[in-house]
Amino acid sequence: MSTLQFLADGFSIAFQWHNLLFAFVGVLIGTAVGVLPGIGPMSGVALLIPVTATLTSGMASGDAAASSIILLAGVYYGAMYGGSTTSILLNTPGESSSVVTTLDGYQMAQQGRAGAALSIAAIGSFVAGIIALIGLVLLAEPLSNVALKFGPAEYFSLMLLGLAAVSGLAGNSITKALIMTVVGLMLGTIGIDAVSGIARFTYDQPILFGGLEFLTIAVGLFALGEVFKTIFEKDGEDGHIAKINRILPTKQDMKDSTAPIVRGSLLGFFIGVLPGAGATLASFFSYITEKKINKNGNKFGTGRIEGVAAPEAANNAASGGAMIPLLTLGIPGSGTTAILMGALIMYNIQPGPLLFDEHPEVAWGLIASMFIGNLMLLILNMPLVRVFAKIIDTPKKYLIPIIVAISFFGVYAVQYTTFDLYLLLGCGIAGYFLTKNDFPVAPLVLALVLGPMIENNMRRALTISNGDFMIFAERGLSLTFLIAAAAWLLIPLLLKLRGKKVIINEEG
């Protein structure tokens, strides 16, 4: 049978009334999960596994597995979209991959363009979902072969390239961005060392053995940082917020967003294929790339719609890309896909090379349902854009307590510790003072995500090579990433030095 025939069979499964219902419930719950900070797709999917098992208890094994995975996958990519809503409206990332959306999305909302930002996020997510679906159908096998070539050395160099790229989020000073990157790396070393089992920088406090929770720091720096800005600078008046007159994006907005959505979708999909990379890295890379190549790149962070379109497309495409190593190799590319893999195994279905032969109804039914689910997300969320946009019109005296409550509830729902609430508060104050003094907080957040991954892959690579650092230069892909990282840091410095020499010569 051809691929198109298998896909047609998958749609016949996905269009069964109970599977349509499961897909709708999945994306609905996923959107809610994305909106609430701290819960995230991983927790949402894990919580719903026993529920799906109960709902499908009367079905045959294959049908039950297909229906369950359709619902759980709906939660996954629904959460990818939902996280953008509070990022844009309240500067509160609902999910870690939505952190980058706050940089321009919240600025757009402050300018009265929340409707356009939310609409572009929905449209970008839909387009990315379709591109990821096409990629999943056409490129699953060849891309899986490429991903298999990535060893610890390649991952180390790729993550290093990601850190070098934070100069693209530098604001007015690359030096300040690099300082924040180093601070993020230092915070990432706190906890039990995964290789040696030794406690590092914990000061004998058991609460620190697990390290610092990424989302606690992200929500503190972004959401509470904005709250403290309003309080300390007495920014309680509501008159400066422009009236939201238009909900849908203009023709110019669509023109500006089309290329970033396509580029973000492609970049996000290919990054999503790499096990361990994930949607967060995809959204950061997409934003940085867009800022570098866009003619208005220097205005990113001031409310450019491209800064919303690119990362939102990337994180949704990455969730589709992450399905490739899961379905074709049995290798989960992220924490959420690891939980999905556990759900499949629970139904005695082993993801991997034989999945498409032994259980085509599960594999192709899931792929077809991703198209239907993305269409449902667009239909579900576009009419709600006006409702969401009204949130930004809420008076500050009501809005600030809502932001604080969402932030504290979201963090406590995941961590269950008062320490994280104190850390959240401390990060909020730090976020205010850092932003006030033009220290960009995005590089700190990215370094906190990548730091442990960089360290683990470096040590694994050195273990393989018996301590020989040349392993990073001897492997072609690794060397390519290292050269790109060096170029990313050195070229802006060389251009700046060249510019100074030209000015000196003109004055001379």
* Residue carrying structure tokens 């000196």: 504
Joined tokens for residue 82:
């939902």
Angle value at C-alpha 160, between 154 and 161, nearest 5 degrees: 90
Q: Which residues make Cβ contacts (< 8 Å) with residue 357, sequence separation at least 6?
A: none
Q: 442: burial class by Cβ within 10 Å (0-12, 13-18, 19+)?
A: buried
- Per-residue burial over 131-166, b = 16 or more CB atoms within 10 Å of its CB, e = otherwise: bbbebbbebbeebbeebeebbbbbbbbbbbbbbbbb
The predicted structure's pLDDT at residue 359: 80
pLDDT tens sequence for the chain (508 residues): 567 777 788 888 888 888 889 888 888 888 877 776 656 676 677 767 777 777 777 676 667 888 888 888 888 878 777 778 878 887 877 677 778 888 888 888 888 888 888 888 888 888 888 888 888 878 766 665 666 677 888 888 877 877 776 655 555 677 888 888 899 899 989 998 877 788 998 988 888 988 888 778 877 887 788 788 878 876 555 444 444 556 777 888 888 888 899 999 999 888 887 765 667 788 888 888 888 888 777 788 788 888 889 998 998 888 888 787 777 766 666 667 767 777 787 778 877 767 777 787 888 888 888 888 888 888 887 777 677 666 656 677 777 887 788 778 777 876 778 998 999 999 999 999 998 888 888 778 778 877 887 888 898 899 999 888 899 998 888 898 899 888 877 877 777 777 666 555 555 5
The predicted structure's pLDDT at residue 246: 66
Give which of 286, 322, 240, 333 is closest to 101, Cα–Cα: 286
Does the CA dihedral 194-198-201-202 come out positive or negative? positive
Does the CA dihedral 221-226-227-232 come out positive or negative? positive
**Amino acid identity at 99:** V
Biggest CA pair distance of the chain: 86
Nearest-angstrom CA–CA distance, 322 and 334:
7
- Per-residue burial over 445-458, b = 16 or more CB atoms within 10 Å of its CB, e = otherwise: bbbbbbbbbbbbbb
User: Helix, strand or coil for residue 264?
Assistant: helix
Nearest-angstrom CA–CA distance, 410 and 472:
40
Angle, helices 251-273/278-293, rounded to nearest 10 degrees:
130
* Residue 36 φ then ψ, to 5°: -80, 120
Count of other CB atoms within 10 angstroms of residue 276: 19
User: Helix, strand or coil for residue 191?
Assistant: strand
pTM score, whole prediction: 0.69
Helices (H), 165-250: 174-188, 214-219, 225-232
Long-range contacts of 330-335 (CB under 8 A, 24+ apart): 330/355, 331/147, 331/275, 332/275, 333/272, 333/273, 333/274, 333/275, 333/276, 333/277, 333/278, 334/275, 334/276, 334/278, 334/279, 335/42
Joined tokens for residue 295:
């003619």
